[in-house]
Amino acid sequence: MKLSELKNGETAVIVRLSGHGGFRKRIMEMGFIRGEKVKSVLDSPMHDPVKYHVMGYDVLLRRSEAAMIEVLPEEEAKKELTPAPTYTGRSIYDTCSGNNCVSCTLRKVSTHRKNVINVALVGNPNSGKTSIFNALANQNEHVGNYSGVTVDAKCGSFNYKGYRINLTDLPGTYSIAAYTPEEIYVRRHLFEQIPDVIINSVVASNLERNLYLTTELIDMNLRTVVALNMYDELLAQGAELDYEHLGAMMGIPMIPTVAKNSKGLDKLLDTIIELFEGNNKTIRHIHINYGNIIEEQIAPLSAEIHKAEDLPQQFSVRYWALKLLEGDKEVAEELKGCMELPRWQHIAANSAKKIQAQIGVDVETAMSGAKYGFINGALQETYKAGDKDTQRKTRRIDRLVANRWLGFPIFILVMWVMFSSVFLLGAYPQEWIDNLFGWLGEQACNLIPAGAIQDLVVNGIIGGVGSVAVFIPQILILYLFISLMEDSGYMARAAFIMDRLMHKMGLHGKSFIPMLMGFGCNVPAIMATRTIESRSSRIITILVTPFMSCSARLPVMVLFAGAFFPKHAALVLIGLYMLGIGVAILTARLLRFAKFQKDETPFVMELPPYRLPTLRATLRHMWEKCAQYIKKIGTVILLSTVVIWFLSYYPRPKESTEYRVQSTEQREKSKEYREQRTEYREQSKEQREEGGINEESFIAMLGHAIEPVLAPLGQNWRSSIALITSIPAKELVVSTLGVLYSSDSEESIQQDLCSSGDFTPRSAAAFMVFILLFFPCIATIAAIADETGSKRWAAFSIVYNTAVAWLAGFLVYIIGGLF
């Protein structure tokens, strides 16, 4: 029977994998191997994908992919399957001969940098790898409880016992093959950088699955220490592990750690120093035994490769032979400098055919099975399973949040609570910041003589920067919710709930996570698309992610919604976010129909257990994002507001100058600055245009030139300028309006927007829609070009998004006129 036919709660045994090579490889790496038990746990609300339990992990598979896995009921399987290979001592591995061993050579590398140790951190997604990095390097890298948080290498340095340790956190991968961009990146880093020591982070409570990556490091013959992370979870299960014996069998020292509270990290660092100095007694190179048939083909190929004088010395000869037998395409790139490469490939191809003819499966499948057999045998001698079910809590929560009927309502409720909190809770600290900048404006008026300098400081710097800084509370609240969803594991469930719907939209199930991250910032969201194996789905996700209203657009939405729709501001905010999602869906369908008609890879995603987010990690994540926002305020936004002020202040007409001097003298004589500003705002539009806003300024000239393009949307030259200045950063819309209306707080800008006559509710709605869909900031455009590998897609995003924004804004303005 097919795995897709398995009903919830039923258990079966895997007997055969079909489908293309890439799919089989990924499935095997996830634990779906011959003879392994698999249980159908839960259908998604739309019956696709399905959550399966294998090797102690919950994994999502679409039914179409599950149909390519053949299973048997347990009783039938016992009759038809032979036992998996077990550990029996030297029959499972052989030790290094020591003659011309690459490992022995590499142990001497870097002796000239006596006190500097370069360390690479590798591991499966959700293995706590980035938590170890944060604890060791004291970096503010966010830890997310779903696959793909680390989408690039993160570097940190620290001192320990007289050594300078340079630590690199590499992307999370299930193997070091050449299947995903992460895997290629990790292998190239190890090949090109040659770290002195590798920390392999594994989940202590799920060793069988996590040690698969370790076996590949064994083949590479790199100095490695295994961090048995989250060791407290293993103990909580009542399990026992003789990790010293396990390390001795694998030739790799193993150290129990709990990264979240830094337990075991000192011992981990001591072991790194021992490996670097060559003083660790556990480390040794072993050969995983792949069976007589495969070993007979490895030996002559290894002997041929060993003769080459131009062979790269980063990895062992045996590793190169194994990869050539597997037909790994990246190996050809790494060995392209070897003159004998074509002959090796010819020998490997013939050997692979012989292996498949004798054992009936391809080399990759046979090697994966042997690796799991090696792991299983080693654990039989060192690991005793516990009798406590630590997954009960996760299953109970999943029955509720991933329920067929309750999954979508709960997700919508979470989104509603998030956006309502952003608007309502953020209003209180926002008022305090607003008052602070208002007070600073008053003090600057009293201290600085009247003239251009005073106007620059009050209306340009304080008014422009202050109008953006007041939205820091909303940014913090938004990232608080995103952080809680990521750290707890709910983000992965959201992808599970949305996959069937996303698939119908022409997107990948994994596309949902980057899109949801886009509500925070589009740049890291676009980088997070690297976890999507399908190139077509990855490009589509990159192109639609900018339609997700990022935190930079939030100040604009809050400002206009509060000014023109005060009674329904939260609903307007939610409606705008939903509009962005809707446009993203339509765009995805269009791209799928017109350009990318085929999705190359299946949806396979791990569901991590629920974990309680730590206060420290959550606060650190919030501060990290807030610090980025503050940095932007103090750099890009400050510089831009000064430029905008200059363009709006010069050239100075005579009438405007006289008015400003008179107005300034009156303000200096009066002790009630606030009252005077209120009276000034209540003056007629003509008076304000004559003195408050310079119609003959450079920015007015530019605005009038652009105005005809946006006039059909109900926009004038001021709003046109605000849209143009949003190109570097969307927050500049607010600071631009603050400068143009000489306003120094959110409240005063809202009063000016309503009283000036420049906006009506329908033109304000059209403005918000345009800024929502208008092409993203420069940083996002650069990210699109980098991640797609083509400037054409970046140019497409600029043109397409702008056209969509204009059309949508026009429709909103026309429809608004009907009401």
Query: Above 50 in pLDDT, residue 32?
Result: yes
Rounded Cα distance between 97 and 286, Å, is 10
Say what the pLDDT of residue 318 is. Answer: 92
Q: What is the arithmetic mean of pLDDT over 304-319?
A: 86
pTM across the whole model:
0.67
Three-class DSSP labels, 153-183: CEEEEEEECCEEEEEEECCCCCCCCCCCHHH
Q: Which of 185-189, 373-377, 611-615 has the highest mean pLDDT?
A: 373-377
Residue 665 confidence class, pLDDT cut points 50, 70, 90: low
Query: Above 80 in pLDDT, residue 459?
Result: no
Strand partners, 167: 119, 156
Say what the pLDDT of residue 365 is. Answer: 87
Query: Above 50 in pLDDT, residue 48?
Result: yes
Residues 72-100: pLDDT tens digits?
Answer: 887 776 665 544 443 333 333 334 444 44
DSSP 412-426: HHHHHHHHHHHHHTT
Across 517-548, b (16+ Cβ under 10 Å) vs e yields bbbbbbbbbbbbbbbbbbebbbbbbbbbbbbb
**Residue of 382 and 107 predicted with greater confidence:** 382
Residue 617 confidence class, pLDDT cut points 50, 70, 90: confident
Q: Which of 228-242, 401-415, 675-689 has the lowest mean pLDDT?
A: 675-689
Residue 691 confidence class, pLDDT cut points 50, 70, 90: very low
Say what the pLDDT of residue 179 is. Answer: 65
Rounded Cα distance between 185 and 176, Å, is 9
Residue 31 confidence class, pLDDT cut points 50, 70, 90: confident
Query: Above 90 in pLDDT, residue 378?
Result: yes
Provide CB contacts within 8 A for 6, sequence distance 6+: 12, 38, 40, 66, 71
Query: Above 50 in pLDDT, residue 816?
Result: yes
**Residue of 307 and 659 predicted with greater confidence:** 307
And the tokens for 383? 């690991």
Q: What is the arithmetic mean of pLDDT over 644-667?
A: 59
402 near 496, Cβ under 8 Å? Answer: yes
Residue (of 534, 446, 462) closest to 748 by Cα position: 462
Residue 109 confidence class, pLDDT cut points 50, 70, 90: very low
Say what the pLDDT of residue 21 is. Answer: 54
How many percent of the chain have pLDDT more than 90? 23
Say what the pLDDT of residue 800 is. Answer: 95
Query: Above 50 in pLDDT, residue 61?
Result: yes
Residues 508-563: pLDDT tens digits?
Answer: 677 877 787 788 778 767 877 876 767 788 899 999 999 988 877 888 888 888 88
Rounded Cα distance between 429 and 128, Å, is 35
Q: Which of 246-260, 609-623, 799-813 has the lowest mean pLDDT?
A: 609-623
DSSP H helical ranges for 456-489: 463-469, 472-488
Rounded Cα distance between 569 and 562, Å, is 6
Say what the pLDDT of residue 531 is. Answer: 66
Residue 697 confidence class, pLDDT cut points 50, 70, 90: confident
Say what the pLDDT of residue 343 is. Answer: 93
Say what the pLDDT of residue 97 is. Answer: 42
Query: Above 90 in pLDDT, residue 608?
Result: no
Q: What is the arithmetic mean of pLDDT over 213-234?
A: 93
636 near 681, Cβ under 8 Å? Answer: no
And the tokens for 781? 């455009």
**Residue of 655 and 267 predicted with greater confidence:** 267
How many percent of the chain have pLDDT more than 70? 84
Q: Which of 267-271, 284-288, 658-662 has the lowest mean pLDDT?
A: 658-662
Residue 740 confidence class, pLDDT cut points 50, 70, 90: confident
Query: Above 90 in pLDDT, residue 199?
Result: yes
Q: What is the arithmetic mean of pLDDT over 768-793?
A: 85
Rounded Cα distance between 808 and 112, Å, is 63
Say what the pLDDT of residue 325 is. Answer: 93
